[in-house]
């Protein structure tokens, strides 16, 4: 065991802060330092020599970290408190929450002094969706706070005469000199390579980082010439350009340039060399300047804001993305894993065409079964025991099907997330916290020709130990795709792909009926799933599962293939002795060597004039730590529409696609998503949380602008009644708390627009924006699969849910429909971890039919996207009404809300009655002024408990946003 000497905050700053002052012999922190108090301790963990040493900066608590064979021990010592806690892994420390003098003590990765703070995006992400605290204002006097809603076109060109930060290295070296010799020698070795500053620039607004240059090593006059074109929806006084020095213990702020928002609102380009100011508003060094240009374009000056999606034959799709728009394909849209014939209402489209309710897993099964060359699968979880088809006599499991195909000579590759909490070593097996069954699946295919690659979510070489542990433990590979070859006619094969929210694993099989009890002895007999209950009970209820998925047939399917190939090549890169073996690259088929398989250009087989033609585009959230093929030189990032992060390049085009589609919307937005939180920079509190995705704010501003223009607009947002898990747990309560903050911000924005337009006495915020959830309640019908005996106590959530025969239908969907003409479906949730690009890896597609848009029809389009939306509403509401054809109309909004309120009352009532529809109002009360409160008499979820509005519980924030 190695004990590590720890200094308190004053001792640290006595060594590294030239600004430290002494008063009457007592050391004090610099005036601009963050001073922790006893109610909330927040300090930076500085890691040296892997995990053998840790410094925690704090004024009056000393923390010791020991590395032991069994794990880690943390001792917290003060004059009045002592505790010793055992951890199984270092990552446990990230979510530590103990009591210190009856107040929560939270250790988080935040800076104890802003001058030495790295821009960390609530999870250590060093990219654009992060948070940066500028410890000073760059202008004297008050500046106007104005809304920037549009795009910022920014060039960060060069800096001159930057300060040399060598002195910081020396002083930090003095601190580490107090450590053991082995640690000190390694740090000094690192420091000896440093000559001067390693500068980079972050561009931030409201504390949210919206752009970041790459790091240039050892330069006091760096030249970046880096371009950003970023969407903004922020109210601020200044846009900050913060110049930092990259360092192994956290970057230092050299200084900043502030551009007043009031000047930007003129629309003129602001360009020049600006002095870089320190906290005293003086140049950080004589002659230190930053050359930049910045220009603001408001949304009202953008043609897409008025013309909608797919506005003409020259429409290029979502600009600024890695994959371009692909024309001339076909898209099949699915709801739920399986749809029985006749289970949904008949729907007529333009030209009398019937909307077909396709069955997703049946089509996936058929596509795999008919593949002749390749089957490539990615998943958060891929479980070999799942049965895709459960009608008739077909009982073949997925694993057996894939083995059969591989024996036929088909190349079968599976790329699944490697859950770090599941392990199988020398016969000892742990299932893992997330129950992905990754180790089971690997073992099942071990001696077959099916190749399974369990892929951990990894940070890059240039990241700290803490960052690597955090990424590897908290974040996941979340993509769900199946890529196969299919018949193209004339003895040719083509590539088709499935993408969406459905993993090929347990608990996902469901139908639009979403039964709770009726199928427990039939199709769900071996597939009981309900993670919201602490332990499974005999007789259910199961947790129904609602999801969205799609199939792409055409050029865009080849982009899904490219994504798999880039990820496989990165994940299979050999390390150590593996380099001596044959390359894993050989696992991938070289399609250009197989004449039978047509290329992307030949795969476009539908003319744009064909009414059934689709244009589709692939989007991702992913970084260069997870794919091979991004440029090595960060200077090339812009040309490939990638964003710079710290030592990584990022594709965050899913976020770009959502923002663009919302801005283009003219009539309504319909969203189904597993999570809905973001735009924390505009909340009434916790603005520095880092949940900076723009989607909630963009929707609220779209509605507000329509109100001011006296035009109708509506947004329907479906989310789970509660996030998956135990409703009273800290993480679920924290997510619900952030969700409440998001709702409150949106409704307040809408109410403000009503007041400004003088319409607050005529309309209420819910005439424009409504949140819903799904639930089911099954009355006894004489055949009851829940009568099995169990010993569950009568007042537990399990027993109450069984007694009251009700449960939420879990919305796992990740999709959006805009104006019945454009659809996005994928794996990405509307939260920061799915949209930032440096956290969970995600994939999605956006598509439309060029012959079925408002621009081409000059009226409501009634193509496949319309049919899909109506089919979803028929599933959720249990009926189709005429007003549903105009979802933006006030009559439709109020009718749908009324139906959902009736369903909620029936769901929450003591009497057990059969629900006709599943759509429930989300159980909160929104008053006429937009205040979001608990429903009277219903502050907690029925049966399972837990505050509906959530609770602020001190846990690691990265887990919940």
Catalytic residues: 478, 480, 485, 812, 814, 819
Q: Which H/E stretch holds residue 28?
A: strand 26-28
Judge contact between 922 and 907, C-beta under 8 A. no
Judge contact between 294 and 240, C-beta under 8 A. no
User: What distances in angstroms separate CA 660 from CA 317, 706, 818, 855, 877, one per listed residue?
Assistant: 10, 17, 11, 17, 29
Nearest to 942 by CA among 803, 846, 801: 801
Judge contact between 25 and 31, C-beta under 8 A. no
Judge contact between 742 and 748, C-beta under 8 A. no
β-pairing verdict for 451-455 and 411-417: parallel
**What CA–CA distance (Å, rounded) separates 307 from 316?**
13
Taking phi first (over 0 means left), then psi (-120 to 50 degrees means alpha), and beta for anything else, what does residue 816 get?
beta
Indicate the SS3 state at residue 769: strand
Query: By CB neighbour count within 10 A (0-12 exposed, 13-18 middle, 19+ buried), where does 386 fall?
Result: buried
Residue 161 per-residue DSSP state: S
Residue 33 per-residue DSSP state: S
**What CA–CA distance (Å, rounded) separates 695 from 697?**
6
User: What distances in angstroms separate CA 281 from CA 241, 284, 706, one per listed residue?
Assistant: 14, 9, 41
**What CA–CA distance (Å, rounded) separates 700 from 292?**
32
Judge contact between 246 and 276, C-beta under 8 A. no
Nearest to 836 by CA among 655, 687, 679: 655
Say how far residue 784 (Cα) sits from the centre of its chain: 40
Name residue, tokens 């021990």: 73
**What CA–CA distance (Å, rounded) separates 861 from 309?**
12
**What CA–CA distance (Å, rounded) separates 329 from 249?**
50
Residue 277 per-residue DSSP state: B
Nearest to 837 by CA among 559, 564, 677, 648: 648
Judge contact between 484 and 368, C-beta under 8 A. yes
Judge contact between 189 and 49, C-beta under 8 A. no
Judge contact between 348 and 340, C-beta under 8 A. no
**What CA–CA distance (Å, rounded) separates 249 from 173?**
11
């Amino acid at each position: 065991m190695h004990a590590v000497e720890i200094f308190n905050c004053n001792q640290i700053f006595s060594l590294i802060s030239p600004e430290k002052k002494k008063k009457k012999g007592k050391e004090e922190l610099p005036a601009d330092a963050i001073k922790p108090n006893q109610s909330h301790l927040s300090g930076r963990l500085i890691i040296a020599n892997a995990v053998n040493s840790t410094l925690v900066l704090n004024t009056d608590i000393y923390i010791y970290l020991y590395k032991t064979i069994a794990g880690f021990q943390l001792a917290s010592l003060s004059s009045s408190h002592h505790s010793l806690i055992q951890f199984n892994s270092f990552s446990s420390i990230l979510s530590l929450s103990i009591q210190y003098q009856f107040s929560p003590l939270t250790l988080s990765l935040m800076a104890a002094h802003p001058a030495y703070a790295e821009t960390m995006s609530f999870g250590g992400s060093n990219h654009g969706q992060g948070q940066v605290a500028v410890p000073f204002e760059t202008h004297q006097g008050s500046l106007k706070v104005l809304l920037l809603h549009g795009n910022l076109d920014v060039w960060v060109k060069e800096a001159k005469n930057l300060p040399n930060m060598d002195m910081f290295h020396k002083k930090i070296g003095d601190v580490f000199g107090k450590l053991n010799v082995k640690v000190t020698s390694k740090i000094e070795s690192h420091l000896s390579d440093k000559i001067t500053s390693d500068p980079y620039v972050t561009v931030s607004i409201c504390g949210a980082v919206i752009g970041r240059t790459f790091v240039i090593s050892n330069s006091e006059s760096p030249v970046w010439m880096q371009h950003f074109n970023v969407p903004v929806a922020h109210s601020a006084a200044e846009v900050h350009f913060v110049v930092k020095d990259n360092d192994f213990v956290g970057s230092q702020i050299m200084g900043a340039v502030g551009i007043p928002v009031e000047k930007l609102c003129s629309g003129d380009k602001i360009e020049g060399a600006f002095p870089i100011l320190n906290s005293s508003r003086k140049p950080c060094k004589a002659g230190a300047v930053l050359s930049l240009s910045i220009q603001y374009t408001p949304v009202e000056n953008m043609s897409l804001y008025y013309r909608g999606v797919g506005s003409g034959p020259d429409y290029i799709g979502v600009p600024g993305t890695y994959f371009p728009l692909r024309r001339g394909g076909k898209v099949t849209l699915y709801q739920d894993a399986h749809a029985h014939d006749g289970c949904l209402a008949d729907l007529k489209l333009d030209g009398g065409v019937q909307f077909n309710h396709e069955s997703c897993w049946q089509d996936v099964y058929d596509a795999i079964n008919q593949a002749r060359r390749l089957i490539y699968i990615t998943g958060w979880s891929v479980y070999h025991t799942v049965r895709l088809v459960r009608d008739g006599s077909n009982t073949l499991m997925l694993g057996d099907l894939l083995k059969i195909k591989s024996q036929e000579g088909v190349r079968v590759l599976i790329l699944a997330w490697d859950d770090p909490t599941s392990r199988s070593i020398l016969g000892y097996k742990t299932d893992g916290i997330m129950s992905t069954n990754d180790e089971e699946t690997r073992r099942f295919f071990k001696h077959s020709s099916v190749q399974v690659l369990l892929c951990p979510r990894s940070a890059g070489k240039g990241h700290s130990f803490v960052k690597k542990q955090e990424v590897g433990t908290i974040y996941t590979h979340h993509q769900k795709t199946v890529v196969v070859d299919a018949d193209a006619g004339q003895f040719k094969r083509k590539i088709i792909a499935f993408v969406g929210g459905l993993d090929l694993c347990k608990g996902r099989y469901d139908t639009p009926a979403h039964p709770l009890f009726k199928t427990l002895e039939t199709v769900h007999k071996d597939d009981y799933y309900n993670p919201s209950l602490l332990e499974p009970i005999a007789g259910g209820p199961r947790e129904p599962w609602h999801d969205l998925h799609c199939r792409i047939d055409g050029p865009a399917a080849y982009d899904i293939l490219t994504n798999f190939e880039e990820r496989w090549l990165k994940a299979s890169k050999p390390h150590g002795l593996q380099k001596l073996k044959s390359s894993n690259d050989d696992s991938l088929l070289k399609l250009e060597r197989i004449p039978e398989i047509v290329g992307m250009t030949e795969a476009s087989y539908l003319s744009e004039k064909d009414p059934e033609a689709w244009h589709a585009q692939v989007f991702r959230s992913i970084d260069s730590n997870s794919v091979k093929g991004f440029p090595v030189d960060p200077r090339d990032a812009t040309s490939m529409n990638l964003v710079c992060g710290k030592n990584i390049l990022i594709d965050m085009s899913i976020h770009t696609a959502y923002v663009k589609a919302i801005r283009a919307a003219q009539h309504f937005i319909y969203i189904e998503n597993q999570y809905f939180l973001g735009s924390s920079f505009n909340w009434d509190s916790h603005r520095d949380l880092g949940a900076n995705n723009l989607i909630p704010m963009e929707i609220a501003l779209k509605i507000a602008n329509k109100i001011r223009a006296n035009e109708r607009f509506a947004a329907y947002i479906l989310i789970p009644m509660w996030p998956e898990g135990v409703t009273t747990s800290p993480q679920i309560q924290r997510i619900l708390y952030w969700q409440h903050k998001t709702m409150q911000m949106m409704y307040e924005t809408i109410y403000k627009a009503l007041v400004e337009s003088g319409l607050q006495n005529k309309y209420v915020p819910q005439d424009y924006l409504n949140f819903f959830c799904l639930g089911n309640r099954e009355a006894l019908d004489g055949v009851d699969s829940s009568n099995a005996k169990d010993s569950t106590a009568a007042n537990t959530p399990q027993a109450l849910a069984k007694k009251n025969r009700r449960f939420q239908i879990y919305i796992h969907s990740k999709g959006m429909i805009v104006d019945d003409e454009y659809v996005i479906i994928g794996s990405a949730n509307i939260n920061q971890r799915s949209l930032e690009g440096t956290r969970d890896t995600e994939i999605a597609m956006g598509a439309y039919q060029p012959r079925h848009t408002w621009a081409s029809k000059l009226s409501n389009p009634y193509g496949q996207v319309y049919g899909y939306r109506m089919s979803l509403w028929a599933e959720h509401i249990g009926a189709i009404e005429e007003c549903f054809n105009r979802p933006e109309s006030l009559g439709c909004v109020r009718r749908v809300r009324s139906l959902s309120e009736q369903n909620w009352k029936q769901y929450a009532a003591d009497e057990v009655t059969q629900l006709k529809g599943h759509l429930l109002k989300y159980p909160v009360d929104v008053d006429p002024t937009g205040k979001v409160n608990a429903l009277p008499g219903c502050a907690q979820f029925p049966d399972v408990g837990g505050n509906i509005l959530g609770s602020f519980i001190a846990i690691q924030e990265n887990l919940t946003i």
